[in-house]
Amino acid sequence: MDSNRTLALSFSRHVARLAAVSLVAALAACDEEVTVEPPPPPPQIATEQSYAKSSTGLPNNEVYAFLVLSNGEFWVGTEQGIARYPSISATARIPGDDGVINELNGLPNPKVRDIVEMDGKVYVATWGAGIAIYDLGAGTWESRTPADDVADDVHPQNVSLGRSVTPGAGIIVQPGPNGVLETLPQGDDRISGTNIIDGASGNGIAETTAHRGLNGSVSDLEPSPIEGKLYLATNDAISIYDPALDRFSSFTSLTRELVSAVGVRDTPAGIERYYGPRVETVEDDPPPPMPAPGITVSRGIATFFTYTQVNSGLPEPNVTAIFYDPDAGLDVLWVATANSGVSRVQVEAKTWTTYTTLEGLPSNTVYSVARAAAPSVVGSTVWVATQNGIAFLQSNGIWQGYNTGGGLAADRVRKVYSDDGLRLWIGYVDAGAARIQTQ
């Protein structure tokens, strides 16, 4: 009996050991089955050149604008002024006080929002004090602020164009020298029969409405070299600056008076302007709601169309940028939005294609659009700056994005800029600027 019990106990222990070994083997097999290979690292993009406050003398690390001037200088616009570099390859500023331009030596306000060049002058948009003008030949600065704006204004667009007189109604309509309907605060024109007679000033401008004035918060500039005029997106309608006459006009009947972006397109029928509305903004409290806001399109002196969410593919009325893309060869506009990605608009075909994170965008908050070279792409393509990095459009309609995981210094990118269609510059919200290796 004792031997039998010993034999049974030994057998039981052997079975238990076999079961334990089998369980371990089974668990190991299960582990092998559920093991997942780590995903490949995200595509990387290299920084060729960096600009920051600590290393290359930027006034501030919040970058809004770039410009390579016709004289070869490279300007970087920030929240606290402009850094001037002698060339795009330089990392040291222009020596002396002129290396940084702010409210002490040229700007009416240091908060730079855009920089453009036209006809030998550089125009700087500021948030709060209008624009600054730099004369390349003379090397001098001057400003145009709301206090300087005592010129003409555009009559509301419900008045049709024509040389006409409405006695008793107080409305006289006449094309002024700016090519738009204009007025003076105290117009001195008079009526003789059915003709408009210039007053003592002989300015060719008929009195229509009270002057609206320039709003100092300018978010975007678009030069029109063909017309020789500058279009300003402001916090209170669109303003048109005529350098030859040194005066402003303002559209006041847009679907949305807060204008965030402006684009200009040259067509056989004339210059078209696209005014992007802003319903919400990162810099102001949301304004009161207005019905059917959209992108207002004007040609000549008339508003002839408005893109809304009802009659077009406009994904939302918070437009952050409008980029006319003549390189596409199809009259393409790119419309960036605050919450709904970016849209490609074939104007003549009236087709909208909207891209979001579903098509590879790093974020649906898009700040800027530019065309430049890109890795593995023949020629150039479209790039966007977003709340979560940058991205370029591949030929398959999918966007390739990069953020801090892909080599950027920070995720939030405010601006993309191409100086020649090849090099790409990016402006970070809080990490300075960089030139990205795209070839």
Handedness of CA 138, 140, 144, 149 (dihedral sign): negative
Task: Report in angstroms the alpha-carbon separations of 266 from 95, 223, 241, 377.
Answer: 40, 12, 18, 28
- As a whole number of angstroms, the distance between CA 408 and CA 47 comes to 7
- pLDDT greater than 80 at residue 335: yes
Q: What is the pLDDT of residues 203-219, one digit of tens each?
A: 444 444 444 567 889 99
User: How confident is residue 422, by pLDDT bands cut at 50, 70 and 90?
Assistant: confident
Q: Is 173 exposed, middle or buried (CB count within 10 Å of its CB: 0-12, 13-18, 19+)?
A: middle
Give the pair of three-digit tokens for residue 226: 């063909």
**Span between the terminal Cα atoms of the chain, in Å:** 87
Rounded to 5 degrees, what are φ and ψ at 400? -100, 120
DSSP letter at 29 equals H
Phi, psi of 259 (to 5 degrees): -115, 125
Strand positions, DSSP E, 316-421: 319-325, 332-337, 342-346, 351-355, 366-373, 380-386, 389-393, 399-402, 413-418
Mean pLDDT, rounded, for 109-138? 97
The residues that bridge with 204 in the sheet, in sequence order, are: none
pLDDT of residue 403: 97
Which residues fall within 8 angstroms of residue 301, CB to CB, at 6 or more apart?
Answer: 154, 161, 175, 179, 180, 181
Angle, vertex CA 125, rays to CA 293 and CA 94, nearest 5? 150
CA of 435: how far to CAs of 224, 317, 367, 371, in Å? 27, 31, 18, 14
Residue 2 has pLDDT above 70, yes or no: no
pLDDT, residue 56, reads 94
**Which pLDDT value is given to residue 306?**
85
* C-alpha to C-alpha distance for 434 and 402, rounded to whole angstroms: 14
With bands split at pLDDT 50, 70 and 90, how would you rate the model's confidence at 314? very high
Lowest mean per-residue pLDDT among 48-57, 98-107, 161-170, 195-204: 161-170
At 433 the three-state DSSP class reads strand
Q: Which two tokens stand for residue 422?
A: 């090849």
- Top pLDDT among 138 and 150 is at 138
User: Could you tell me the maximum CA-CA distance found in the chain, to the nearest angstrom?
Assistant: 139
Choice among 79-83, 95-99, 172-176, 290-294 with the minimum mean pLDDT: 172-176
Q: Which carries the bigger pLDDT value, residue 292 or residue 274?
A: 274
Name the more confident of 392 and 302. 392
- CB atoms inside a 10 Å sphere around CB 191: 13
In the predicted model, is pLDDT for residue 176 greater than 50?
A: no
Q: Is the backbone of residue 74 left (phi > 0), alpha (psi -120 to 50) or beta? A: beta
Check: CB of residue 58 under 8 Å from CB of residue 411.
no
Q: Could you read off the pLDDT of 362-377 as tens digits, one per residue?
A: 999 999 999 999 988 8
Nearest Cα residue to 265 out of 384, 345, 371, 381: 345
Q: How many CB atoms within 10 Å of residue 194?
A: 9
Q: pLDDT band at residue 195, thresholds of 50, 70 and 90?
A: very low
Whole-number pLDDT of residue 435 = 96
Q: Is the pLDDT of residue 415 over 60?
A: yes
| Dist. CA 263–CA 220, nearest whole Å | 9
Query: The whole model's pTM is what?
Result: 0.79
- Quote the distance between the C-alpha of residue 244 and its chain's center: 27
**Is-contact 288 317, C-beta < 8 A?**
no
Q: What is the pLDDT of residues 135-144, one digit of tens each?
A: 999 999 999 9
Which pLDDT does position 419 carry in this prediction? 86
The one-character DSSP state at 42 is P
DSSP code of 397?
S
The string of pLDDT tens digits covering residues 12-52 is: 555 455 555 554 455 455 555 667 777 778 889 999 999 99
Token pair in block for residue 99: 């290396």
